[in-house]
């Protein structure tokens, strides 16, 4: 199992960059992480494995799961979160200044225009919604763009994928592979905290 560290960059940005390189080589990607920021990478060729606390297990999270949960495509996820905010990442939306601009309005506009940037550009030259939404999109355009910069995973870091890291997935071995992987993570955390392996 390869362990990669890139000084000065967040782990999720490293993963996003490598995921793009894996796709370019014709492979599919499976990302095992509880970090919901990775949902913006989901596609037909990128799946997540995420924890299900209620069931006390990890499970695959696919494009279909995403659409069923959010009623939009992952490409819209980032744009939507820029408007409604993300409490976990400490990024406030614009409801605190425009209370009526909620998820329903944001989702409708993002679905129609495709992305935050396209929506903001359209709002700058013509009316795209009701007066409160129109005013918010023009008045707080820079604020929303800053949210995008904070929430967007970087996919262009100076890190290169090695071909020998690529392994074809044996779907019959998922449970064993995941169990081994998370056991390794727990041992790595313990070693980082104490400087010695966890007693067996």
Q: What is the CATH code for 74-151?
A: 1.10.150.20
Q: Does residue 188 register a pLDDT over 70?
A: no
Q: Does residue 116 register a pLDDT over 60?
A: yes
Q: Does residue 198 register a pLDDT over 60?
A: no
Give the residue from 184, 127, 157, 191 showing the smallest Cα distance to 1: 184
Mean pLDDT highest for which of 45-54, 62-71, 126-135, 174-183?
Answer: 126-135
Q: How confident is the model at residue 193 (pLDDT cuts 50, 70, 90)?
A: very low
The mean pLDDT of 31-60, rounded to a whole number, is 88
Contact 72, 107 (CB under 8 A): yes
| Residues of the chain above pLDDT 70, percent | 83
Pinpoint the residues of the chain covered by CATH 1.10.150.20. Answer: 74-151
The mean pLDDT of 148-153, rounded to a whole number, is 94
> What is the C-alpha to C-alpha distance for residues 185 and 28, in angstroms, rounded to an integer?
23
């Amino acid at each position: 199992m390869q362990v990669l560290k890139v000084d000065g960059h967040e782990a999720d940005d490293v993963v996003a960059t490598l995921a793009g390189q894996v796709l370019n080589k014709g492979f599919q990607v499976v990302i095992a992480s509880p970090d919901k920021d990775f949902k913006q990478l989901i596609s037909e060729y990128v799946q997540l494995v995420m924890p299900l606390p209620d069931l006390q297990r990890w499970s695959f999270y696919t494009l279909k799961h995403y659409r069923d949960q959010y009623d939009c495509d992952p490409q819209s996820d980032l744009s939507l979160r820029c408007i409604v905010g993300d409490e976990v990442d400490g990024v406030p939306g614009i409801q605190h200044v425009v209370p009526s601009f909620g998820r329903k309005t944001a989702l409708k506009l993002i679905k129609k225009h495709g992305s935050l940037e396209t929506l903001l550009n359209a709002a700058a030259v013509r009316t795209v919604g009701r007066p409160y939404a129109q005013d918010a999109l023009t008045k707080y355009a820079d604020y929303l763009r800053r949210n995008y910069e904070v929430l967007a995973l970087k996919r262009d870091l100076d890190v290169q994928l090695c071909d020998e890291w690529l392994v074809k997935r044996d779907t019959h071995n998922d449970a064993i592979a995941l169990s081994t992987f998370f056991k390794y993570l727990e041992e790595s955390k313990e070693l980082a905290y104490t400087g010695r392996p966890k007693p067996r």
